[in-house]
């Protein structure tokens, strides 16, 4: 995406700074299960997942404008009425957008590993935010977590379990790969090279 110019229209800005929670039936023009993706990057998963699941309503957050606008543009070009991309910091904006128990699935794929200790506060799975994400899911709702970094995977599962998510495979156990799942942009690279991907699929009890 390096050479693509920044598209002028901000993605999903009409959903930022609202006084009340949005009515998602109105936003999408249809009812249906609501899914959240945090950090969609170049959008490989968001676009393909929305295409494969036309009845699901997918909200994808990305704080890098270039990516967010490009994914929104590609979604529109593909006629995906069930995908909404929002450019912004998910940690700040998600609490203004979803009511508790309203989400069916949360996707977090290949989050930045933030190697430096000083940067680790930028990680998505901070204890408070992880507990908060649990409240947004409906009972039985899923957390889909994927990474190429084993240590990030292990810490991620621990953080999710500590927040109250249930791991049906047993504590700390990764989920096997699922050919039905749409791969993310990064994941495609690892699948092509044979590099390992660590997955977790936890549920809200």
Ligand X SMILES: C[S@@+](CC[C@H](N)C(=O)[O-])C[C@H]1O[C@@H](n2cnc3c(N)ncnc32)[C@H](O)[C@@H]1O
Catalytic residue positions?
Answer: 112
* C-beta of 157 vs 197, nearer to ligand X: 197
Instruction: Give whichever of 89 and 151 is closer to ligand X, judged by the CB atom.
Output: 89
Least distance CB 181 / ligand X (angstroms): 12
- Residues ≥6 apart with Cβ < 8 Å to 200: 143, 144, 145, 146, 153, 156, 157, 160, 167, 174, 175
161 contact partners, CB below 8 Å, separation of at least 6: 167, 171, 172, 202
Residue whose CB is less far from ligand X, 23 or 128: 128
Task: List the one residue from 75, 111, 141, 153 that touches ligand X (CB under 6 A).
Answer: 111
List residues bridging with 62 in a β-sheet.
87
Looking at residue 120, the DSSP 8-state letter turns out to be G
User: 52 — phi, psi (to 5°)?
Assistant: -75, -20
* Given 49, 142, 186, 199, the residue binding ligand X (CB under 6 A): 186
Per DSSP, helices labelled H in the chain are 24-28, 44-52, 65-77, 90-93, 127-136, 150-163, 185-193
Residues in contact with ligand X, shown as a per-residue x/- string from 40 to 79 under the rule CB under 6 A: xxx-x----------------xxxx--x------------
Minimum CB distance to ligand X smaller for 26 or for 117: 117
- Total residues contacting ligand X (rule CB under 6 A)? 21
Give the integer Cα–Cα distance in Å for 151 and 114.
12
Binding test (CB under 6 A) with ligand X, winner from 90, 97, 157, 163: 90
Query: Which residue from 14, 76, 89, 151 is in contact with ligand X, where contact means CB under 6 A?
Result: 89
Of residues 139-158, those binding ligand X (CB under 6 A): none
CB of 111 to ligand X, least distance (A): 6
| Residues 202, 78: Cα–Cα separation, whole Å | 31
* Angle between helix 127-136 and 150-163 (nearest 10): 60
List residues binding ligand X (CB under 6 A): 39-42, 44, 61-64, 67, 89-91, 109-112, 184-187
């Amino acid at each position: 995406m390096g050479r693509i110019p920044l598209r002028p229209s901000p993605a999903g800005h009409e959903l930022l700074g609202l006084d009340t929670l949005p009515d998602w039936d109105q936003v999408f023009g249809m009812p249906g299960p609501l899914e959240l993706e945090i950090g969609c990057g170049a959008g490989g998963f968001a676009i393909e997942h929305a295409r494969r699941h036309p009845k699901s309503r997918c909200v994808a957050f990305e704080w890098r404008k270039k990516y967010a606008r490009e994914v929104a543009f590609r979604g529109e070009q593909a006629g995906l009425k069930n995908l909404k991309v929002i450019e912004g910091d998910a940690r700040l904006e998600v609490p203004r957008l979803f009511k508790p128990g309203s989400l069916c699935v949360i996707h977090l794929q290949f989050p930045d590993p933030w190697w430096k200790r000083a940067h680790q506060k930028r990680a998505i799975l901070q204890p408070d935010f992880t507990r908060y994400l649990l409240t947004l899911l409906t009972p039985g709702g899923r957390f889909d977590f994927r990474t190429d970094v084993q240590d990030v995977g292990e810490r991620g599962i621990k953080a999710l379990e500590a927040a109250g998510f249930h791991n049906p495979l047993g504590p700390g156990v990764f989920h096997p790969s699922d050919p039905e799942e749409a791969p993310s942009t990064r994941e495609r690279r690892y699948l092509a090279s044979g590099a390992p991907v660590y997955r977790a699929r936890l549920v809200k009890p």
